[in-house]
């Protein structure tokens, strides 16, 4: 996502012990000490026409650091070079040209301005490119260099604070973080929607779905853990507990393949960008029940997401992602609009072409041996950290083979 926040370094591995509730495991120490933050100081904003007021949150020191991290061009270079991401957005804009041509667009978190320029090229009458990061200054120069200053207006500030004195027809944003909801940028899209989007307006993307599935990854475990059992003929196994903690205490962003996935995926959260509220994002809980398709060591859970670019007329219609997963969960991930009437889908699933989002892994310190057809059930809760709402607390409870476990981790 552009103009949003720093990302944890790809391949930074860590996680915690899973706790065997039957007394056979070890409890992970909680190294994350949240500090209660105040949400006072927000201001009320009135949408065009004075229909209702929007309460906007204050800009915290965490927010300022987040915006500052997006001033570095390297982050934007990585995202733009993600061809799956960038070309899907461009295709979506062209696909919805009839909704954009001659219309007013807001680009939330515009970064370098590339999506704003795509919209202008598609015939938008006016594009408000909003970004709180200093990269907005560069975006303005890019707009000038492409002779689009008469149609693309760069606004340097939070979407919660900038002023746009008209309703808009389209909101576009690349707001998705690791594990979909990390970084909490979706809240800014919701505020933009409630402040400016006219009834019947278009939001791109319109639907997002977060998935999870159990995974096996022996190579990853061997690289990070088994390595220490014999190092140049030296027994370094005393280091194993520390090696496991350093490797698996926190979530890891990395690329896996479909071969690592033990079961069909489960939907953790379905997001309808036309109706979702900020309150809904504070805590997400889902129960799951998986049936393993193979005998293998169960090393942890993987999370990934799809987003769908459907028009306003389809906002209340069933999502093509939802429909496909009912019959064959992975079909929905592979599908990229084979039929012109289908909505365009951008997927970060393990069996699809890789993106900079990769997949988010929550590993256990020690794997669980799973038999074919064995059931894995439990629940997952994702909550915004009280210390910094852009961080995500992950609480997993799961059972299999007569044993129950708890795993807690923080994506930060």
CB proximity list for 103: less than 8 A, separation 6 or greater: 124, 125, 168, 169, 170
Placement of tokens 């809980």 in the chain: 285
As a dihedral over the C-alpha atoms of residue 76, residue 80, residue 81, residue 86, rounded to 10 degrees, the angle is 150
Cα 11 versus chain centre, distance: 17
Q: Are 175 and 85 a contacting pair, CB within 8 Å? A: no
Residue 327 host element (H or E)? helix 320-327
CB proximity list for 61: less than 8 A, separation 6 or greater: none
Q: Give me the helices (H) in 32-145, please.
A: 61-69, 73-81, 83-95, 97-100, 114-121, 135-145
Q: Which of 160, 183, 249, 250 is catalytic?
A: 183
In this structure, are strands 53-56 and 104-108 parallel, antiparallel, or unpaired?
unpaired
Strand order of the sheet with strand 152-156? 152-156, 126-131, 104-108, 168-173, 197-204
Q: Are 171 and 193 a contacting pair, CB within 8 Å? A: yes
What are the tokens at 284? Answer: 């997400």
Neighbours of 74 (CB within 10 A): 7
Q: Which of 160, 174, 250, 308 is catalytic?
A: 174
The yes-or-no answer on residue 174 being catalytic is yes
Q: How far apart are CA 364 and CA 221, in angstroms?
A: 10
SS3 371: coil
The yes-or-no answer on residue 223 being catalytic is no
For the annotated catalytic residues, the residue numbers are 174, 183
């Amino acid at each position: 996502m552009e103009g949003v926040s720093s990302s944890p370094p790809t391949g930074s591995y860590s996680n915690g012990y899973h706790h065997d509730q039957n007394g056979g495991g070890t409890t992970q120490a909680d190294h994350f000490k949240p500090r209660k933050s105040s949400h006072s100081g927000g201001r009320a904003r009135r949408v065009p026409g004075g229909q209702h007021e929007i309460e906007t949150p204050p800009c915290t020191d965490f927010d300022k650091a987040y915006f500052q991290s997006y001033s570095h061009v390297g982050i934007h270079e990585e995202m733009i070079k993600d061809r799956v991401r960038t070309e899907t957005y461009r295709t979506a804009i062209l696909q919805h040209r009839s909704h954009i041509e001659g219309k007013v667009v807001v680009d939330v978190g515009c970064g370098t301005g590339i999506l704003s320029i795509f919209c202008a090229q598609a015939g938008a009458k006016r594009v408000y490119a909003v970004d709180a990061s200093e990269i907005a200054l560069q975006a303005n120069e890019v707009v000038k260099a492409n002779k689009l200053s008469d149609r693309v207006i760069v606004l340097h500030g939070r979407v919660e604070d900038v002023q746009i004195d008209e309703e808009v027809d389209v909101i576009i944003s690349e707001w998705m973080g690791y594990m979909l909801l990390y970084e909490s940028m979706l809240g800014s899209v919701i505020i933009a929607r409630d402040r400016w989007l006219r009834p019947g307006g278009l939001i791109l993307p319109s639907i997002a779905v977060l998935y999870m599935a159990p995974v096996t990854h022996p190579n990853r475990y061997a690289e990070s853990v088994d390595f220490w059992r014999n190092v140049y003929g030296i027994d370094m196994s005393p280091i194993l507990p520390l090696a496991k903690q350093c490797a698996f205490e926190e979530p890891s962003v990395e690329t896996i393949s479909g071969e690592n996935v033990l079961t069909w995926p489960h939907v953790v959260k379905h997001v309808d960008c036309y109706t979702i509220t900020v309150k809904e994002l504070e805590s997400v809980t889902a129960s799951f029940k998986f049936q393993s398709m193979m005998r293998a060591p169960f090393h942890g859970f993987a999370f990934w997401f799809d987003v769908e670019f459907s028009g306003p007329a389809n906002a209340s219609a069933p999502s093509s992602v939802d429909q496909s997963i009912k019959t064959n969960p992975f079909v929905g991930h592979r599908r990229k609009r084979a039929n012109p009437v289908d909505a365009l889908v951008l997927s970060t699933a393990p069996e699809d072409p890789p993106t900079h989002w990769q997949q988010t892994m929550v590993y256990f310190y020690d794997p669980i041996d799973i038999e074919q057809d064995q059931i894995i059930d439990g629940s997952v809760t994702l909550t915004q950290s009280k210390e910094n709402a852009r961080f995500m607390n992950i609480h997993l409870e799961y059972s299999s083979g007569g044993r129950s476990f708890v795993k807690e981790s923080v994506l930060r």
